[in-house]
Structure 1
């Protein structure tokens, strides 16, 4: 029993960066206004947040570029008021918004691993539909939801469902054609800069 309790505590601590489930549903006009079409190839990008000292995975997010580019940030605490959100799916992911997302998660105590795989257009659209239909994600289930979405998708047949960000990151790295980069940041843990951006977001011009 003690070993089981310790395992549960370890899982909770590992996924501590994931927030609680919160259902948000932006109206259709807001989603239409926020839609952003990126000129890059159809692609899937996995973001993994990792503790600098512990090397433990803390959060997983999935960005999909297809007929539009959006971010699935399950049980995440990141948001920008101008980005329409529907149940953990953020619309309008311009390059500037992607940089805000990375900056929010990378700091003195955490770094971000970004892994990207180019996919056929139909695969990107399938994944977009999957994230849109998944629903709000409960606390500590960020990686479970991301891995569930990838399971069974053409080109991702080797992916298995997992609760652990590092496990999913390792699985993703083994897929053919994946490129990877690591982002570090010496900012303090309070993410003061990005919080100011969030608070003042509606006053600044669109990128």
Structure 2
């Protein structure tokens, strides 16, 4: 499950398939799961792409601000150790971020991450935006993410879209983006990966 290929490169030049329901973790669990910023403030856009067609299937956003959270709109990444509030996942250490990408990478899909260093204020705006956005309906993961990004300073060129590949292409045009790729050979059924990740995190 954890065999990965990471390819650093210059910026790279379907319809979303997502599902979720509203969730609101208790204050105490969220407070205990707070993970502080690691390194410079940054945003990492994750796009899950079909290995055969290249079509985008899901969009997620890692926010490395005063605290680290994963925005997984209408997503399926869950673990008992990670509190969630309406698609915002807390407790996201760098290791958990790796597990997030690993969860989505399998025989039929690969994951592309696009990381950009941003001013601290921009990262904080993104953090507040995802916290207040609310639960995202099915098939709206990219629509919601593109709307949030479009409202940030320096991201005005991002178009609002339902399609992960369109957002991927717009994000790739931003100056300073670092792109990496994750491929794995897991079975297409994500339930096994999800159970393994849940077990790993319960032991830490």
1:88-107 map, 5 Å: 88-107=87-106
SS at match of 1:77: coil
TM-score normalised by structure 2 residue count: 0.89
TM-score normalised by structure 1 residue count: 0.88
For structure 2, the 5+ residue unaligned runs are 1-13
SS at match of 2:132: helix
1:99 positional shift: 1.3
Q: Deviations over 1:67-102 (max 9, x none)?
A: 001000000011111111000000111111111101
For structure 1, the 5+ residue unaligned runs are 1-12
Structure with bigger gyration radius: 1
Distance 1:40 1:109 in 2: 33
Divergent runs of 4+, >3 A: none
Count of residue correspondences: 191
Distance 2:38 2:58 in 1: 28
1:1-207 map, 5 Å: 14-16=15-17, 18-20=18-20, 22-191=21-190, 193-200=192-199, 203-205=202-204
RCO comparison, higher one (Cα < 8 Å, 6+): 2
8 Å CA contact 1:85–1:91 kept in 2: the answer is: yes
1:187 positional shift: 1.4
1:202 positional shift: 6.4
8 Å CA contact 2:80–2:202 kept in 1: the answer is: no
Structure that is richer in helix per residue = 1
SS at match of 2:129: helix
RMSD, aligned α-carbons: 1.4
